Amino acid sequence: MQIFVDTADLDEIKEAKKWGIVDGVTTNPSLIKKAVEKLKSRGMEISMEDYIREICKAVDGPVSLEVKAIKAEDMVREAEILYQKFNHVNNNVVIKIPVNTAINEGDEIFEGIKAIKELNAKGIPTNATLVMTSTQALLAAKAGATYVSPFLGRIDDYIRSKLGIKFGKWDVFDGSIIKKIEEMQRKEKKGNVAELYEEMSSIDYSDEGIYDGVELVESIIKIYRAYNFKTKIIAASVRNALQVRKVAEMGVDIATIPFAVIKEMINHYKTMEGMKKFMQDVVEEYRAIFEQ
């Protein structure tokens, strides 16, 4: 599994690169905003273009940069600008296109897909972002997206909010527990078939049959494997190490992971405890080997 760093913070990118674990970077307007605010709070003047060039230079792997428009033709134009300005730096720019750019009811809903198709025809690689369903991922792959980014964490947030479950941004969520609750409630039902069908189908705590973000990734992997789509899956909006473990076990192509979660992945209480004990147990004779 490749690891992308989900950040626009150059310090984080450079640090993670030193660890030898970075295969790429994903940014989005919110991550760019956070990075700009950090620089400004340190009184640093920045040229956005220079800063993005630095990011591209720092990574020997794909760097996703997102468009800001919502109409297909504007997205294609912005994608060309981003590609022309930054791809020559390290030949690694990928354009992030929201899979559906509708903001209000009645807005056009296929602009993202249209833009992906056009960029594919122009040979500009794309990352279909804000993917929340397997069918969006299917359409993005059909349109020729190079990457597709299902948003695990935001699906977990959505299901928990819908069910009134309190949570913090980084909290683990296990949709299989919700599935069990659903089964328990269904078991108690009695009546004739028609009534039971109506009642039981009204008990549904999923998001269109998906119970958590990890399950969304599993579903997309299944669909892509069934039809041999070349589009690579990036597990995005990752909130904790458990999600990383689960999608890695599924064989997802890539996970884009925030710096804090990468740190969480390396930590374990027993590793620390073990280190303390090893340090205490170094005998003089052994220490002497290293003294030169």
Draw the binding track, 247-286, toward ligand E4P (x: CB under 6 A; -: no contact). ---------x------------------------------
The reply on whether position 243 binds ligand E4P by CB under 6 A is: no
- Eight-state DSSP code of residue 231: P
The reply on whether position 146 binds ligand E4P by CB under 6 A is: no
Instruction: Select the residue interacting with ligand E4P from 8, 55, 72, 236 (CB under 6 A).
Output: 236
The reply on whether position 151 binds ligand E4P by CB under 6 A is: yes
Catalytic residue status for 68 = no
Which of the stretches 12-20, 75-83, 149-157, 178-186 binds ligand E4P when contact is defined by CB under 6 A?
149-157
**Residue 203 corresponds to which tokens in the numbers above?**
């008990």
Please give the Cα distance from 177 to 185 (Å, whole number). Answer: 13
Instruction: Select the residue interacting with ligand E4P from 92, 101, 126, 129 (CB under 6 A).
Output: 129
The residue annotated as part of the active site, out of 33, 57, 71, 96, is 96
What does the DSSP assignment read for 5-25?
EE---HHHHHHHHHTT--SEE
Pick from 231, 287, 3, 246: nearest CA to 117: 231
In the complex, residue closest to ligand E4P by CB: 237
Q: Are 91 and 83 in contact (CB under 8 A)?
A: no
- What stretches of the chain adopt beta strand conformation (E)? 2-6, 24-26, 63-66, 93-98, 126-131, 147-150, 232-235, 254-257
Q: With the C-alpha atoms ordered 254, 260, 263, 265, is the resulting torsion angle positive or negative?
A: negative
The reply on whether position 126 binds ligand E4P by CB under 6 A is: no
Nearest distance, CB of residue 235 and ligand E4P, angstroms: 9
Nearest distance, CB of residue 131 and ligand E4P, angstroms: 10
Q: With the C-alpha atoms ordered 202, 205, 211, 212, is the resulting torsion angle positive or negative?
A: positive
The reply on whether position 173 binds ligand E4P by CB under 6 A is: no
**Residues involved in catalysis:** 96
Contacts to ligand E4P by CB under 6 A: 6, 26, 28, 129, 149, 151, 153-154, 236-237, 256
